[in-house]
Amino acid sequence: MKSVAFLLADGVGIRNYLYSDVLKELIEKGVEPILLHDLSDQAIEEIEKHHHYKFISHKIPQHKETVEQKFLRELISLARIKFNIKLTNNTSLRNNWKPIKKKFFQKVFYFVLELISFLGFKKYASILQLEKLYENSFSDDAYGHLLRDLNIDVIFNTHQRVIKAAPIIASAKKNNIKTIGAIFSWDNIPKAKLTVRTDSYVVWSEHMKDEMKLFYPEISQEKIIITGTPQFEFYANKELLQSKEEFCNQFALDASKKIICYSGDDTRTSPYDPDYLYDLASSIHQLPEDKQAQVLLRRCPVDLTGRFDSIVKKYPKIIKVADPLWNFDKNNKQNWTLVYPKFEDVALLINTVKHCDVVLNVGSTMAHDFAMYQKPAIYINYDVPHAKKWSVDTIYKFQHFRSMEGLKPVFWLNSKESIIETLDHAFNSNKNSKEIIDGQKWVDTISNERENASKNISNLLIQ
């Protein structure tokens, strides 16, 4: 029996690769999936409960990155970002370099690193030399004994930038174990964070494969396989759907009124989300009550700041809250918190998209989720007056938004004063509207093989 190990160095890959049908497809093919992980016992139980299957699972030993390894990794990232800026003529890529410099050592560390980057490593060949040094820094085959004992044939790494995965993949290569890595999201490739180098890679689309060719020309095109991503497959699962009445009752919504999903981002990416929510709610509040739409707030799962609370409290009839169903499992001995979605959150997200009329946010991937049901998305495109060192203009210049060039896949909200007008345009759109048609074209650009991703990945893993 062939054995395939899923490398989960954090909880990020659980939704796409463990809740989807990838594991089910492998089991049906007579393959033994092994979970090689740094997850909590509760997370493993959640996965096993979903599949009604007892997996072989093994917790990976803790890896402590050396100062040398961190220096090389960060230097590679900065050098690549600078190179990518010249390659694309897109200075917004610099926003992917935001190291934490609070402590004295951190300030010295990054001062030296940035000085060295300024003085050298401007040619692509020198970046490749740095990456070779980084890969060779994992020279002790620390995980070889574990991998041999488990008799693993293939390792599937679920996220390309998780540092803890790097030494395991290095050991796998030393032991001639095939390694395949997932490029986790559609916006990841230009960010210069391909920390974990595997034998081959799975990507969502031809567009992402082209990006890999542009940003990583040293990787052979034969090693980049278009499989699609399983995260959109859930939208075809009718068993997850509630009726609109059930959904509205769950969140105290009026099924006869329009529902706006306001989806928040993390505090670093979108620090003024509460201001935009306030603008939205206050604009709706000015309308006659019978014409007021409702807002269903879905905050970013890792945003536990409570920054929306005062606005929700001010407009309780307009704003209802659908908190993401994520677990935060603490391990006080090892001083980490594992963050991962419950499977129930998959159903919550699917029903939110199904029963809301429009999604509104600052440049979120949720536009693609709503495109699954041919629903409109509105991107906020104005700055709040007191914004400091942040602008929506920077957000929409990010490299991954170049994938919408020539299209109008969303409605643009260009001012607070135009909120109601823009909402009306979105509410009155239909399947023949340009924004809906182009929204479908956009998601088709960034994500191919949406109905077959799990099957494609499982077939690749057993080749």
Residue 339 in domain = no
Say if residue 119 is in the same domain as residue 142: no
Say if residue 362 is in the same domain as residue 265: yes
Could you list the residue range(s) of the whole structural domain that residue 161 is in? 3-64+137-233+450-461
- pLDDT score at 333: 53
Q: Residue 62 carries which DSSP code?
A: P
Say if residue 437 is in the same domain as residue 456: no
Residue 336 in domain = no
Of the residues 90, 116, 136, which one is the last residue of a structural domain?
136
> Could you tell me the pLDDT band of residue 214, with boundaries at 50, 70 and 90?
very high
- pLDDT score at 334: 52
Say if residue 269 is in the same domain as residue 306: yes
> Could you tell me the pLDDT band of residue 9, with boundaries at 50, 70 and 90?
confident
- Name the residue with tokens 């260009």: 414
Contacts of 381 (CB under 8 A, 6+ apart): 392, 396, 412, 413, 414
Say if residue 102 is in the same domain as residue 209: no
- Give the whole-angstrom CA distance, residue 455 versus residue 445: 20
Residue 345 in domain = no
**Closest to 447 (Cα-Cα) out of 211, 203, 182:** 203
Say if residue 184 is in the same domain as residue 203: yes
Is 4 a residue whose pLDDT tops 80?
A: yes
Q: Residue 97 carries which DSSP code?
A: -
- Name the residue with tokens 């594991």: 23
Q: What is the CATH number of the domain that holds 294?
A: 3.40.50.2000
Say if residue 416 is in the same domain as residue 288: yes
Q: Residue 413 carries which DSSP code?
A: E
- Give the whole-angstrom CA distance, residue 225 versus residue 448: 11
Is 331 a residue whose pLDDT tops 70?
A: no
Say if residue 312 is in the same domain as residue 428: yes
Say if residue 290 is in the same domain as residue 150: no
Residue 155 in domain = yes
Is 121 a residue whose pLDDT tops 60?
A: yes
Contacts of 189 (CB under 8 A, 6+ apart): 183, 208, 211, 212, 215, 216
Number of domains the chain contains: 3
What is the tens place of the pLDDT at every residue in 45-65? 999 999 999 999 999 888 889
Say if residue 73 is in the same domain as residue 26: no
Say if residue 422 is in the same domain as residue 385: yes
Cβ 29 vs Cβ 458: under 8 Å: yes
- Beta strands of 125-244 (E only): which ranges? 154-157, 178-182, 200-203, 224-226
- pLDDT score at 61: 84
Residue 418 in domain = yes
